[in-house]
Structure 1
């Protein structure tokens, strides 16, 4: 991924936190027939390795678990807040006119070689961990144990676990760092005025970069 120095996010906790907040990853791996891409939710185990380990599961019917490369790294991409940035938010458009649109975003790329796991105990624990992470914000969190055990075990047999130890972790926070300060402040105000959750989250990120 092309990352100018002023767009590089190198704080490990910040990069890992985006994965926690946006766990749906675009997993791309090489197969004998070319590239395979799947969109699946991951959970990050920060306690293992330098950058952590990604854990997930795929349907047993999805042959990616039999076809992914064990010789080349896979790539998993996580997308944070993003938005089109209009020059109409830039005060300098009136004084100088030398402005153009852009796109702001925060993304994380995780590299590593995956392995498939068919151990029923591992898969069951993964399902519990994924559920606990995803249900954390609910008023009455649902638990795997709330469903009949036989039902859960039957569903667990229909999936295969995926584990990817991260060997390289890149964060790109493209947040108007190369714009004039009045235009950066205008971007924060413009995004905040849109009012939706994505725009507000992006406005906070742009503001954090200014501070």
Structure 2
């Protein structure tokens, strides 16, 4: 990943927050014809473990997915988490109207988690993982669904149809391309235009990244 110094994001709290808020990761791994990718919702445990200084990522794949057989334990992988992103029009920069020396761009935030794959074909592991993922993603529902709502034999059958994976995380590389190389008035102009168009998260991220204070309360 191309990473100019002014776009590098190294704050562990910011990296972990992006991974929690955008848990659908792109798992990049070796394929039969070159690099391949799967899109999976991950659970991230930042607690250091043996051989995992930056914690563990956990997910599951369909048993029919050849990933877990093609990529045995120890396979190097990369998981990409995409945060807020959006198109930036040069018309949103006040300086454009004075000099016309601006062009379109795309701002975004992303984290690459680098590590090695561990295959977990283990029903106990899977039951715990699915239960935790369900509790987390159902938490905002008026009546959260839980595994116990379904017949036990049905859940047992579903668990047999998936295989668990872990990624032992050895490096986290973050990039926040949020207009840090622009003048303050241009950053503010773009952030306000994004907010008007409903892209509040990206506008707020631009405000924070540039050190312009906290975003306005809405």
Measure the CA separation in 2 of the matches of 1:122 and 1:55.
10
Residue aligning to 2:206: 206
Taking a change above 3 Å as real, the CA distance of residues 150 and 70 of structure 1, as seen in their structure-2 partners, is closer
Contact 1:31 1:69 in 2 (8 A): no
| 2:215 match | none
Tell me, yes or no, if the aligned pair for 1:43 and 1:55 is still in contact at 8 Å. Answer: yes
How far off is 1:88 after superposition?
0.8
Which residue number corresponds to residue 9 of structure 1?
Answer: 9
Deviations 1:43-67 (A, max 9, x none): 1011234322000000000010001
Correspondence for 2:185 among 174, 178, 182: 182
5+ residue gaps, structure 1: none
Aligned mates of 2:164, 2:180 — CA distance in 1: 40
- Could you list the per-position Cα deviations for residues 86-145 of structure 1 after superposition, in whole angstroms to 9, with x for gaps in the alignment? 011010012111101110000010111101111111110010011112112222221112
Question: For residues 18-71 of structure 1, what are the alpha-carbon distances to aligned partners after superposition, in whole Å with 9 as ceiling and x for unaligned?
Answer: 111111111110134422211111110112343220000000000100012655
Alpha-carbon distance in 2 for matches of 1:100, 1:31? 38
Q: Structure 2: which 5+ runs fail to align?
A: 213-218
| Alignment coverage as a number of residue pairs | 208
Structure 1 ranges of 4+ moved more than 4 A: 69-72
Aligned to 1:31: 31
Per-residue deviation, 1:3: 1.1
TM-score (norm 2): 0.91
Instruction: Verify the 8 A CA contact 2:24 2:81 in the aligned structure 1.
Output: yes
SS of structure 2 residue aligned to 1:92: helix
**Secondary structure at the residue paired with 1:114?**
strand
TM-score, normalising length from structure 1? 0.94
Alignment of 1:1-211 (within 5 A): 1-48=1-48, 49-68=52-71, 70=73, 72-195=75-198, 199-210=199-210, 211=212
SS of match in other structure, 1:166: strand
2:72·2:118 contact (CA, 8 Å) conserved in 1? no
